[in-house]
Structure formats: C-alpha cells, structure tokens
Chains A and B, each alone.
Chain A
Amino acid sequence: MKDVTFGQYYPSHSFVHKMNPAIKILLTIAYIVGVFLVSGDNYYAGFLACVVFVLIATITARVPIFRVLKSIKAIIFFVLLSAILQIFFNKDGTPLWENGFITDKALIASGFIALRIILVVMGASLLTLTTSPVEIADGTEVLLAPLKLVKFPVHEFALIMSIALRFIPTLLEETDRIIKAQQARGAEFEGGIFKKAKAMIPVLIPLLIGSFRRADELADAMDSRCYSGSKNRTKYKKMGLTYRDAISFIITGGLVAGVVLLNGVVIL
C-alpha cells in the first residue's frame, strides 16, 4: 500500500515540464476543444494535425510514448463501445455489402470517434504526466483567480487542495498500519466482495477519527505559524511566464486556428 504513488507524474526537466502549470492546463483545454472541433470534409487533415501535435508534445516532454499510451488502457472499453455503437447505428452512406447493415461511412466514423477519444485522453494524461499534483493545484489557483470577483474563496480552495495532496501519502501509511493492527487482532481481509467491504469498517473508522485528530493538530500548527487567511499574504513560489509558454501558446493556438479554418473552408 505504501508504494502507491499518487497521480502519474513522470519527473523530468523537459521543455513541457518547465512550462507554467496554469498555461499548461489552459493549453490542454484548448487542445481538447480543438480535437472536438475537427469535422467537415477535411477532417483527415484536422485529425492528422492533432496526432502530430500530441506526438510532438510527447517527444518534447521526454515522456516515453508507452507511458502516454498506457492511459488509454483504462478507457479502452469506453473507446470500443463508442466505436461499436457507431458501426451498428450509423445509417449514412452505402452498405458494405448487399442488404448489409454496416455502411462504409459508419466504419470511418467509428474509427474517428475512437481516435477522438484516444487523442483527448493522450492530451490529458500528458498534462498529468508532466505536471506534479502540487503544480496542478497552483495552476488551478491562478486560473480560478477571476472567481475572486464573485467572492469565491480561491486561496482557501487551493490551500485545501494542496493540503489534501500533502496528506495522501500520510493517510495511506496510516491505513497500512491500521490494517496490520487489525490483522494482528485476527481480522480477515480475504473473501468475497461483501466480506471485504465489511472488513474495511474497522479500518475506516479509526482512519476517520485519526484524520480528525490530524486536522485539529494541523490547524493548531498553522495558527502557530501565523496563518490568518489570504489577507496580506505573499507567495514565495512565483510561476513566471517564459519563452516556453509563449512558444507553446503560439503552436497550440495555431493548431486550434488551423482546425477551425479547415472546418470553415467547407462551411463557406
């Protein structure tokens, strides 16, 4: 249990790793939007552009391609299901054989649906592979900053997020310890799903009570270290913008613009 690493961060000092996390999140969203925008008669070109983009991003991130592809494994069922539904229910185009229910267009469409999902997941997992959870929390804080205008407690929200991330390994360690303690008292964690679920109760209750105690102590420690909310607070970590962010911004912008233009040609 102790070896569980949270998230799938792949440490490196690559171009993509060094980008500003807020920009990275923003550009990932832009890319995903781009993937969904691909349509019209030139979709081959649109998809090709997206595939090239994600491959270039993977190479500059110096993440092994199999790590990115691994994330697809988790959603393979979803991909296949969408593709199969498309094959059976899309009635456009001409049947592949006489009186057949599978059309040529349906086959192509199902292929592209699968490709679309895979491209989105690859982009998203590239973000989590190159950005540590803490950076994601920091990036989110920056991106949510406009919500301060409507009195949304952005600073508190980000602090809660980063403290939660900080405590995941600690709580996993504690879970491990409680399981061992209960096993030492004769508790069994093997058996069917109901038995297993029931066996978890004597683990979860001490864990929950322990977390409350921890929260209490943490609050005291934070108070002792002069924490008094976001007022007059400075920040040590400054996430500056570098040439990396500018270049990525231009390239991603180019991709989205290209996709829109390719669609537009047909619409006009």
Chain B
Amino acid sequence: MAILSAENLRYSYDKKSVALDGITMSVEEGEYIAVIGHNGSGKSTLAKLFNGILKPESGKIIVDGLEATDKKSLFEIRKKVGVVFQNPDNQLVASIVEDDVAFGPENLGVKRKEIGERIDFALKAVGMEEFRKSSPTRLSGGQKQRIAIAGVLAIKPKILILDESTAMLDPIGRKEILSVIEKLNKEQGVTVIAITHYMEEVISADRVFVLDDGKIALTGTPREIFREKEYIKSIGLELPTASYIASKLVEKGLLEKGEYLTEEELLEGLCK
C-alpha cells in the first residue's frame, strides 16, 4: 500500500493563478522520490500540502492511512511527515545544537531519557555527534542544514520531505546533505521525497516527478526522464552536467550515442 497518495490536488495562492492543478501521485514506503520543476512550478506548495501546513482547495491526500486535510489528524500527520525547508537559519529554534534537536521530541511529549537517546540517534545519522553542545551560528551552511535534518529525524518520521533543502548551500554542503539523505533512505528505510531544481540530485532517486505549471508533466526513473532531453530543456530545466556534456560531445561526433547520466558513465564512454 502506498504510504502517501495524492489525488487530484488543486491549490492556488490567489485567484489569478493556480499553483497546483490536478496533481495525482502515490509514493511507496522506502522509496526515494525526486520532485523537480523550475521556479514557480508549484513544487514547494506540494511539500506544505503533504504535512498539512496548507490545505488543498480540492483533492485528497492520504498519509499512512490518515487524511491530511482532516484537522484532527494534523499532529499525527506531522509525526509521520518531516519537512526540511530551504533556509537552515530559519528552521533552528535554539542556540545550542542539542536543544534544537530536542525541540521536536519535546513537542511530542517524549520522556527526558528517550529525548537524549533520540538526540544521539539523530545527530549520529547526520554525522554531527561532535557538535552536540555547539552553537549553530558557528557552523557552515551544510552543517546547519544537517542539524535541521537531525531536528526532523528526532521526531522519527516515516517520510522525509526535503523542500529545496540544498538550494542555499555551496557544492560541498550540497554533497554532504545528499549523502546523508541517501544513507537515511538505504539504511534506515526512510521514505524520501526530495524537491529540487538541481538535476544532479535526481540521479539517485528511484522515481522522478517532473512538475510544470502546477501539473505533473513527466514521471519515470531518472534514466527515462533524461531521455526526454528536448522536453526537459523546453520547461526550463537543465540536464545533469554529465548528460549535458555527453550530448554536446555526441553532437560533434566525439562520443558514441548512448545514455550518460553520471560522471562515471561519461568517463567510461570517453575511454572506449
């Protein structure tokens, strides 16, 4: 059974334009999903609908058997769906790392001893154990975002939504977050929904949803998606760097035709 399913979602911020228009999708437990689209395609709205921060105008969202539009189940929904937002600075509530990670479990009314265990677990999962007593303001962007992820993990959600959580980070910070997410998905079995406009982040996903103008324009595995090179470009998205370089090289006849998604594949193709 799908852990999260959405049916015919519609949402608009004002009367003039529609942010989401008839979104239907379902996510299986343990899947790594990427939602991709250019700015204003409605992808961030989706994240806020999935944990009940926004209420859809019409349509249905079912999270692990609970209706997300039902006000009474909001607390339960938010226990199941953790969201990490874009700006790490605006998500941290406390001046000390462990206090911030404790915020979620405190809200759930978890006992003191278990909060300590959850902090250990969450900080370990993001590789930030040694910063437990530090102040977040002294950390780098990537480290702050890892603390934000730890803060969400301490709630022990089944689904982790990353709403452009790497957009404000430098390439090193982005890599840190990606490896943490992949590890969580593979080792802890957390269902991941990564919302992004960086193609590199899509490659390791199981399935990709491409959003354009509030509608799902394409779905499929990353490989299937990037076969539609022209379409991807036409909706304002870019190919992963390796694919882009490969396509230029193929045009010039310097590389055999084929699928080049990652740097390794490109390298292999070039060495032939």
Contact = CB atoms under 8 A, between A and B. Distances in A.
Nearest to A223: B53
A45 interface: no
A223 B78 contact: yes
A163 B137 CA distance: 13
A169 B82 CA distance: 27
B63 interface: no
Interface stretch (A100-108, A111-119, A143-151, A226-234): A226-234
Interface in A219-253: 220-228, 232-238
B250 interface: no
Given A217-B87, A226-B75, A234-B115, A169 B107 contact: no
B112 interface: yes
Given A221-B90, A225-B78, A236-B106, 20 more contacts: A134-B96, A162-B95, A169-B137, A214-B90, A217-B87, A217-B91, A221-B91, A221-B93, A222-B93, A224-B51, A224-B78, A224-B85, A224-B152, A225-B152, A226-B104, A232-B109, A233-B107, A234-B105, A236-B98, A236-B119
Contact of A226 (B79, B85, B87, B99): B79
Contacts of B115: 234, 236
B81 to A, nearest CB: 8
Interface string B43-73: 0000010010100000000000000000000
A23 interface: no
B233 interface: no
A12 interface: no
17 contacts: A134-B95, A162-B95, A170-B137, A214-B87, A217-B85, A218-B91, A220-B53, A220-B83, A224-B53, A225-B155, A226-B79, A233-B109, A234-B110, A236-B98, A236-B106, A236-B112, A237-B99
A132 B135 CA distance: 12
Nearest to A171: B89
A163 B231 CA distance: 46
A170 B95 contact: no
Given A225-B152, A236-B112, A162 B78 contact: no
Interface residues of B, number: 41
Contact of B107 (A214, A227, A238): A227
B162 to A, nearest CB: 12
Nearest to B82: A224
B116 interface: yes
A237 B106 CA distance: 10
B240 interface: no
Chain B interface helix/strand/loop/mixed: helix
Contact of B103 (A132, A134, A165, A225): A225
Chain B CB within 10 Å — which of A217, A220, A232 has the most? Answer: A220
A198 interface: no
Contacts of B108: 226
Interface residues of A, number: 29
A224 B83 contact: yes
A169 B137 CA distance: 7
A200 to B, nearest CB: 23
Nearest to B108: A226
Interface in A143-181: 159, 162-163, 165-166, 169-170
A150 to B, nearest CB: 25
Interface in A198-221: 214, 217-218, 220-221
B16 interface: no
Contacts of B110: 234
Given A134-B94, A170-B89, A236 B99 contact: yes
B194 to A, nearest CB: 16
A155 to B, nearest CB: 11
B137 A225 contact: no
B111 interface: yes
Contacts of B51: 224
A235 B151 CA distance: 15
Nearest to B54: A220
Contacts of A170: 89, 137
A220 B161 CA distance: 14
B107 to A, nearest CB: 4
Nearest to A238: B112
B202 interface: no
A224 B83 CA distance: 6
Nearest to A213: B90
B104 A225 contact: yes
A220 B78 contact: no
B92 interface: yes
Nearest to A222: B93
A162 B90 contact: no
Given A224-B53, A226-B75, A234 B106 contact: yes
Chain B CB within 10 Å — which of A225, A228, A233 has the most? Answer: A225
